[in-house]
Structure 1
Amino acid sequence: MAAILKKSVYISAGALIDESWIVTGADSLYMLRDLSRVLRVRLGSINYKKGGVFSPIKLFHIHPLFDDNQPQYDVALIKLAEPVRLTPSLNPIQLLKKLHDVAVTHFIVTGWMQDHRNSTVYPLSMESIKRRRLLTVSHVHPTNAGDCFEQLEVQGINNTGGVMCLDPPVGGDPCQRDIGAPVVLNGVLWGIISSWRSEDCEVEAGSTFVTLVSHVDVSSWIHATIHGHRWTRKHVVDYDDNFI
């Protein structure tokens, strides 16, 4: 797990996929194009404010096909200023190589859910603030594939296999998104939570959308970027590499 911070303010979650690289959501970094110097990453701690490894970053890349009006390519890569020393409690996660049919009961989603409501209207106690700094672990059910397709179609989005839907958390805010949070099954990263949400989420609770790392235009971009290659949509992924 990685907490992405703008100075000391939490902006998104992420996942360590290599000793130098973290995958996260594009939307959280999109407006910070030339401000990588203000970003920090905390690794190996359940509290994004303290503990673990605290590192500046060298640079970040946003997927070239990212469009904040859709969730397909809501993915970015962050390169740390220095490679981290891997330990039993600080390890890269393996990426899903090829998409499988979703025949599971639930995925594990970890992150630091933030409340973006106006704190002057909804004041938080110090206990609540401290609790929000701690990592949460959720077991989230996949949405029926047909329902997922219909939800995206209604929004004018043609899903080419790059997005998976998860049921909204019971009792949770249907418009909240734990941006960049890893979606994991059996220790393998399937995708990350996109910030994208339907326009009518407050009226009708829709799914949470996941940008899948196994989609060819995402996996090949990750591979090319980490290896310093120029990405094209014809890029071939070498699955013998250790990181994927």
Structure 2
Amino acid sequence: MLFIVILVLKSLFCITESSLKTFQNATTYELGDHTVVSSSNVFPYVAAILNKSKYLCAGALIDESWVLTVADSVFLFRDSLRLIHVRLGSINNKQGGKLMPIKLIEFHPFFDDQKPEFDIALIQLGQRVRLTANLNPIRLQRKRKNVMATHFIVTAWSMQHTSSAELYKMASMQDIQRRRMLRVAHLHPSKKQQCDEVLDELGFLKSNIMCLDPTMTGGTDPCSRDVGAPVVLNGILWGVLSSWVPEDCDLLPGPTFVVLTSAPNITSWIHATLRGIKWHKWTIFDTDYEEYEDDD
């Protein structure tokens, strides 16, 4: 059965032979619709954004100095940068890897906490990181493409909605340790027509959002999301999961929204920020440098 699963994964996601060997070791036990990861080599780009030691959201390392994440989860800390740290190169959000202070948080100028279209932020690390097998950036999807895949790879840590005291009462130490470990899920994109209808009804920009089916995200709570989780296909970052949920999500969950890095008014902002250039909505960058070229 494992052999069949690996063959399917290989055909869907073009996983390399070395990655396949690591992925075999990563699937040790299940947690709802997610698989807990046991090797840091599999997803070396994943970042844990922390308020002191408390997990806030996930993110993705996109170069030696910058992490891409959602704006909503870190917006309240824009004047308290010393409280925010980023853990890189570890599948445990409490230990291991590198715990980095941050220098700056840049929010997309169009960010509105009532909408998901620009729910995106860039965190500048306090210093450049030294890249290793466990710690490596991921390339960005720069041009909007039609979704042809049946699954996307989504990685995040379990959100903690209970206090530490309550958690210790209701769970074993093994369960507590599992909640601190990185999880991976293969999430289905929603049908384009259904997604477009939802976005039109809500008045959101279709160019900025991709919908994922709600049935496999955030565990069993229909209102929870794997906030900031990198959404990846063929080793390319398509976007991050927004924290936005409809007000009636407990009755009608609706799709999970992915903020797309390929949206023109997002990709240009990202690369302007990385270059230290002031961004305007008409700023356009040509795909003229190799590290961000897309694979056909």
Provide TM-score, normalisation by structure 1: 0.94
Greater Rg over alpha carbons, structure: 2
Task: Specify whether residues 243 and 173 from structure 1 end up closer, same or farther in structure 2 by C-alpha distance, changes over 3 A only.
Answer: farther
Secondary structure of 2:287's aligned partner: coil
Aligned residue number for residue 102 of structure 1: 147
CA-based RMSD of the aligned residues comes to 1.7
Residue 54 and residue 120 in structure 1: after superposition, are their counterparts in 2 closer, same or farther (change >3 A)?
Answer: closer
Could you report, residue by residue, the CA deviation over 1:51-109 in whole angstroms, capped at 9, with x for unpaired residues?
Answer: 11111111111111001111110000000011000112211100001011111100000
Q: Is the contact made by 1:72 and 1:211 (CA closer than 8 Å) also made in structure 2?
A: yes
Task: Give the match for residue 185 of structure 1.
Answer: 233
Shift of the alpha carbon at 1:241?
Answer: 3.3
Within 5 Å, give how 1:59-70 maps onto structure 2: 59-70=104-115
From the superposition, tell whether residues 174 and 119 of structure 1 become closer, same or farther in structure 2 (CA, over 3 Å): farther
Aligned residue number for residue 4 of structure 1:
49
Pair 1:40-2:85 in alignment? yes
User: Is 1:204 aligned with 2:249?
Assistant: no
The Cα of 1:237 is off from its aligned counterpart by 1.3
State yes or no: 1:227 paired with 2:275. yes
Aligned residue identity for 1:19: E
CA deviations on 1:162-205 (whole Å, 9 max, x unpaired) are 00000123463221111110000000000000000111110012
CA distance in 2, matches of 1:99, 1:22: 21
Structure 1 pair 159–92 and aligned structure 2 pair: CA distance change class (3 A): same
Match of 2:182?
Answer: 135
Paired residues for 1:18-57 under 5 Å: 18-57=63-102
Identity %: 51
The farther-off stretch of 56-65 and 158-167 is 158-167
**Match of residue 73 from structure 1:** 118
Alpha-carbon distance in 1 for matches of 2:164, 2:96: 26
- Whole-angstrom distance in 2 between the partners of 1:130 and 1:67: 35
Q: Which amino acid aligns with 2:229?
A: A
Aligned to 2:9: none
Letter in 2 for 1:63: H
Secondary structure of 1:169's aligned partner = helix
1:174 aligned residue (213, 217, 222): 222
TM-score by length of 2: 0.78
Higher relative contact order (CA 8 A, sep 6+): 1
2:196/2:206 contact within 8 Å kept:
no
Amino acid in structure 2 at the alignment position of 1:68: D
For 1:117-166, what per-residue CA distance to the aligned partner results, in whole angstroms no more than 9, with x for missing partners? 57787754133322110000000000011111222233x32323100000
Aligned residue type for 2:223? C
Aligned AA for 2:49?
I
- Quick one: structure 1 residues 9 and 242, their matched pair in 2 at CA, closer, same or farther if it must change by over 3 Å? farther
Letter in 1 for 2:242: S
In 2, Cα distance between equivalents of 1:6 and 1:225: 23
SS, match of residue 215 in structure 2: coil
Distance 1:54 1:117, change over 3 A: closer
Q: Tell me which stretches of 4 or more aligned residues in structure 1 moved more than 3 Å.
A: 117-124
Structure 1 CA distance, aligned partners of 2:95 and 2:61? 18
